Structure 1
Amino acid sequence: MVHFVGAGPGAPDLITLRGAELLKQADVIIYAGSLVNPALLELARGDCEIHNSAKMTLEQVIAVMEQAEAVGRTTVRLHTGDPCVYGAIREQMDALDELGIPYDDVPGVSSFCGAAAALRAEYTLPGVSQSVIITRLAGRTPVPEAESLMSMASHGASMAVFLSSGMLDRVQEELLKGGAYTEDTPAALVYKATWPEEKTVRCTVGTLAQAGEEHGISKTALVLVGNFLDSPYEKSKLYDPSFTTEFREASR
């Protein structure tokens, strides 16, 4: 059996209870070494076989899983954050389907959640934004034309931009081309959210590239954009005394 497990955004205690228990039980662990906090590997048994997938191809990863399954061993495939966001898990699952190897998927806390927590921010503020766009800038890996950063930026919604902190000048340019954000729209860089070395930098869309250069942030960081970072908002109707809900009558 193969278990795909979300490691969470970085802090070892932000993995789920289920994920932590599977790490303790695993015979084999294949972890995304460039992103997963190695402190999580301390949960593994002393005799657990551990592989760093940063040095492996897809075929090598699948071969390790296949070999483990052949002798009845349990494998944990440990991905950063939640595996469903830029985790490249679909191709692994398809390969396991072809081999007839059973697997399941254990969700984790995504780094975009960790980044909001680091900034004490809420993406969905009434009267400001009720949508969150998770996207990335096209680089060596392209994105569909209809999902270009400029196109996504045209909505003016709250945005978390992954895998793009090494191209902040282009990120800034594309965000402004979208037309909904201005030079003064609030933005932030969150480096290694929830790790001990976490760093947050608040700026604006117009100063994103400058902020990254001044603070030495060019990788392993999220770009957050939108008025949710600094804007007046409406209070939630859910807790408004004049608002009736299924559980509470409005006060007169």
Structure 2
Amino acid sequence: MTTTGRVSFVGAGPGAADLITVRGARRIAEADVVIWAPSAVDVECVREHARPDADLVDFSRVTPEEITDLYRRAAASRQVVVRLHAGDAATGGGVQEQHDLCVRLGLEVEVVPGVSVVAAAAARIGRELTQTEASSAVLISPESSERVAEFARLQTTMAATVSGARTGQFVEQLVQGGYTTETPVVVAYKVSQTDEVVVHTTVGELEAVVKQHKLYRPTLFLVGTAVKAPARRVSAPATSSADEPQRTARPTRWSRRAASRIATRADEPIPAAAPAPATPAEPNPAWTAVEEIQQSVRKPAEESTPKPKLTVVAAEKPKPPTVRASTATAKKKPVGRKSKRTAGN
């Protein structure tokens, strides 16, 4: 527990539970209260990292006034609060306003970066958004979607989050700004999640593709030549001649040095391997990196408690902090020993 209470705005990544940062996972494991939106953050991200006794608040079901009251209660009770944001917490979601509010309340505040949706979409298609012919990228939020035509005149890579229901207006502004109907577009919806939709298309076909996939919610559109799909090479049938000499790789100095080290270790005794279990369980590598962090911040009593199902609770009205009785067993004083003060007399 902190001396003043702490609020961490954590970027939870684009959606997949294992794309959160190690620091973000640790902050969730430390939190007394986790504020999140199930529609934007995967439930597995919370289930894997939150403490069993943590209060979970659905951000979409509470008012801004209730969130403010929650921050005030955190300051009065010295609680640790985590506000989860989809993608990167520093690129939207009203973080700045809430950050300044928490500072005024005297809370310790930090912002933990996360993997942005734009970065996840670019990685998904294997493209660089700032390559040579498009040396810059413009990020457009839903709040600034009315200025698409103005940004389109820059003729660079555009990453715009627009409501799927307004795709027709978005296309009109792209053409008005100078993009041709043949300009490549990537439609990215729920990237990295099980029901993701990632489609290569063009400005002219964009509206039809969105309607085909029934994308009516906010969707990320990557526009520009930088996101053009790579041309697939048609492989020719393999032909080989028996008389053709087989070429082998020439060893480098690094491979020779490694080979000499392996040779010097060949004479060392090899310890006997432990017998393999009958049914070996393969650990999930996604959580291996944060498992020790989770155990270090959780109480020993919580480790033995089975993790219950997550339930969303609404933010409570502010109330005076209550003092909970300690559940630790009181240590008995050793019999037959005298205190230093008594012994001195």
Match of 1:76 among 74, 82, 104: 82
Say which SS state the counterpart of residue 206 (structure 1) adopts: coil
- In structure 1, the partner of 2:208 is 210
Specify whether residues 136 and 177 from structure 1 end up closer, same or farther in structure 2 by C-alpha distance, changes over 3 A only: farther
Specify whether residues 63 and 33 from structure 1 end up closer, same or farther in structure 2 by C-alpha distance, changes over 3 A only: farther
Distance 1:154 1:231 in 2: 23
Distance 1:229 1:192 in 2: 18
Letter in 2 for 1:175: L
Worse overlay, 52-61 or 182-191 = 52-61
Which TM-score applies when normalising by structure 2?
0.62
Is contact 2:11–2:114 with CA below 8 Å preserved after alignment?
yes
Is contact 1:24–1:44 with CA below 8 Å preserved after alignment?
yes
Shift of 1:86: 2.0
Structure 2 residue 130 is the aligned partner of structure 1 residue 132: no
- In structure 2, the partner of 1:59 is 65
Distance 2:29 2:62 in 1: 23
Is contact 1:124–1:228 with CA below 8 Å preserved after alignment?
yes
Shift of 1:120: 1.6
Shift of 1:231: 7.9
Is contact 1:192–1:220 with CA below 8 Å preserved after alignment?
no
Structure 2 residue 52 is the aligned partner of structure 1 residue 46: yes
Letter in 2 for 1:91: E
Distance 1:125 1:205 in 2: 20
Distance 2:162 2:74 in 1: 32
- In structure 2, the partner of 1:236 is none
Distance 2:162 2:63 in 1: 20
Is contact 2:29–2:50 with CA below 8 Å preserved after alignment?
yes
- In structure 2, the partner of 1:118 is 124
Distance 1:136 1:68 in 2: 31
Distance 2:171 2:181 in 1: 9
Is contact 1:165–1:223 with CA below 8 Å preserved after alignment?
no
Match of 2:184 among 183, 186, 189: 186
Greater Cα radius of gyration, structure 1 or 2 = 2
Is contact 1:68–1:75 with CA below 8 Å preserved after alignment?
yes
Distance 2:58 2:206 in 1: 33
Give the unaligned 5+ runs of structure 1. Answer: 233-252
Shift of 1:100: 1.7
Say which SS state the counterpart of residue 134 (structure 2) adopts: coil
After superposition, the CA RMSD in angstroms is 1.7
Specify whether residues 36 and 163 from structure 1 end up closer, same or farther in structure 2 by C-alpha distance, changes over 3 A only: farther
1:108-162: per-residue Cα shift (whole Å, max 9, x none)? 0110111112222110111x2010100045xxx5x39xx7110001111111111
Match of 1:87 among 65, 77, 93: 93
Match of 1:221 among 194, 219, 222: 219
Distance 2:28 2:124 in 1: 26
Which TM-score applies when normalising by structure 1?
0.84
Say which SS state the counterpart of residue 93 (structure 2) adopts: coil
Give the unaligned 5+ runs of structure 2. Answer: 1-5, 231-345
Moved over 4 A (4+): none
- In structure 1, the partner of 2:33 is 28
- In structure 2, the partner of 1:153 is 152
Distance 2:119 2:106 in 1: 34
Is contact 2:139–2:158 with CA below 8 Å preserved after alignment?
yes
Distance 1:224 1:10 in 2: 18
Specify whether residues 226 and 32 from structure 1 end up closer, same or farther in structure 2 by C-alpha distance, changes over 3 A only: same
Instruction: State the number of aligned residues.
Output: 224
Distance 2:72 2:165 in 1: 36
